[in-house]
Each structure stands twice: as structure tokens, then as C-alpha cells.
Chain A
């Protein structure tokens, strides 16, 4: 009886240690890939699409959930931040299945895990922009004035936003390219269709004051 209890206790300890170590390893890999996506997005996204570790996607979603909680402190919303997070998750899942569906129509049979990982990593520029924006909202609250400092900051902020937007477009295109493995024109077709559906949907979200700038 004592031997059974000690071996069960030992196996529980080992399982717990394995879980902790795997989560820590995924976190370190996430940090490494965040910087690699800045330096060399193409080979990094290619490696991500071949990965099978969903803990990294869970960690990214956890960061996004934490962001929504913190953002609610800076600017109180009439909608609970967890509900906003769930709406975002719904948008994300719809985007994945939209692209997955079209890739199946075009004859590609890929793992949906690849979509989940690559599209999760393509959320990093969005998260960075929203986080910096939240802190700037507290540090330098809008509206911007027509003084020299106001104009200089506006030029800086718009150039920062354009840089992150271009990075986002690059990562989104690479996520689509490596997940669907489709050629250029079919990718452009999917992108155009996606934007034409998502744009009116974003206007709807703006009307209901859920997302002023879409969190995609």
C-alpha cells in the first residue's frame, strides 16, 4: 500500500514538473519567435507553420486577455472586458475557418493547428499597437492640439502606426501563405474576399462601440 501511494505521488510530481517545464519552454519559444518575427519574419513564420505546440497560441491569447483587462482600467467601457475578449475569440475562430474552408475548396488538406499557430502569431503586431496606444492614452491623453509638439507627436504616432500595420500585413500574408500553401492569386482572392466581409463587420462593431479600431 505504501509503495503504491509513493509511486502514484512520484508520478504526479513528474507530471506536474513536465507540465510546468513544457509551459516554460513554450513561453521562452514565444519570446524568441517574437523577436525573430521582427528580424526575419519569413523563415520564422515558416517554422511556426510546421510546429505542433498549441501552448504558444494559448499564451498569446492569455496575453490578449490580460491586455483587455488592463485596457479597461485606462478607459472604462460599457462592455465587460471578458465579453470583448470572447467576441475577439469568435472573430478569430471565424477568420481561421474562413481561410481553412477556402483552402479545402482549392484542394489543400492542411492541419487546422497550423492555422491556429500562424494566425495567433500574426496577432502580435496588433497586441503591440494596442498596448502602446493604451499607455500613450494614459501618458498623453488625446485630443492632439495644433501646437508644434502636437503636430510632431501626430506625425510620429501615425508613422509608428503605419510601421506596425505593414508588419501586420506581412505576418498575415505569411500566415495565410504557409497555412494554406496556396499560390499568389488564390491568396489575393481570399484576402480580398476576407476584407470585403470583415470591413462592414468592423463598421458594425464600431457602431456598437465594441471595437473602435478592429482587433484583428
Chain B
């Protein structure tokens, strides 16, 4: 059966590594659900989540977040 070179090359690239199996069906499904969003355009999810998380951290820790920002700015 003739397989075009580009298709074969793509298959070799995609299947050169075994898919992850966590050994427990529902856990594997959860893993695939989470990683599906992170494989392509992850920042669409990451940026809003990080903004919400930092606002939440400010509401919980208050002024400690400002001290953390100062610590990180001195960090380089």
C-alpha cells in the first residue's frame, strides 16, 4: 500500500512515543482532559487563571502579596 512520504513522516513523528496510560481508566481520562487544553494555545487558559489566582491571593494574604512582589523584583 502506497503511503505518501509526508503522511508517513507525520505518523512517525506523532507515534514515536507511547501515549500516557495512568493505569486507571478515569484517572487517564482526567489526565487527557487537563493536558488537551495545555497542548495548544495554553495561554488562553493560563492567563485568566493566573490573574484570578493572584487576585484571590491578594484577598487572602493582603499585604503579603505586595511583599512577595518586592521579593520577586529583587530576585534577579
Residues of A within 8 A of B (CB): 38-43, 46-47, 50, 71, 74-75, 130, 133-134, 136-137, 140-146, 150-151, 153-163, 166-167, 170, 177-178, 181, 183-185, 212-213
- A23 and B67 CA atoms in complex are apart in Å by 44
Q: How far is the CB of B50 from chain A (nearest CB, A)?
A: 4
Closest to A178 in B: B17
The contact string, 1 if C-beta is below 8 Å from chain A, for chain B 51-76, is 10111011000010111111011111
Q: Does B39 count as interface, using CB distance less than 8 angstroms?
A: yes
Closest to A163 in B: B50
Which one of A43, A133, A155 has the highest number of Cβ atoms from chain B below 10 Å of its Cβ?
A155
- A199 and B41 CA atoms in complex are apart in Å by 30
Q: How large is the interface on B (under 10, 10 to 19, 20 to 34, 35 or more residues)?
A: 35 or more
Closest to A147 in B: B66
Contacts A50-B13, A154-B58; A75 near B76 (Cβ below 8 A): yes
The contact string, 1 if C-beta is below 8 Å from chain A, for chain B 39-52, is 11111001100110
Contact between B57 and A158, CB atoms less than 8 A apart: yes
Contact between B66 and A183, CB atoms less than 8 A apart: no
- A43 and B31 CA atoms in complex are apart in Å by 18
Q: How far is the CB of A121 from chain B (nearest CB, A)?
A: 15
Contact between A134 and B76, CB atoms less than 8 A apart: yes
- A183 and B21 CA atoms in complex are apart in Å by 7
6 A–B pairs (Cβ distance < 8 Å), ordered by A:
A41-B42, A43-B39, A136-B73, A143-B67, A143-B70, A146-B66
Contacts A42-B39, A144-B73, A157-B72; A151 near B58 (Cβ below 8 A): yes
Closest to B20 in A: A184
Contact between B46 and A167, CB atoms less than 8 A apart: yes
Q: Does B30 count as interface, using CB distance less than 8 angstroms?
A: no
Closest to A141 in B: B73
Contacts A155-B54, A181-B17; A213 near B66 (Cβ below 8 A): no
- A161 and B75 CA atoms in complex are apart in Å by 12
Contact between A137 and B76, CB atoms less than 8 A apart: yes
Contacts A133-B76, A162-B50; A154 near B13 (Cβ below 8 A): no
- A166 and B38 CA atoms in complex are apart in Å by 10
Contacts of B31 in A (CB 8 A): 184
Contacts A136-B73, A158-B72; A151 near B66 (Cβ below 8 A): yes
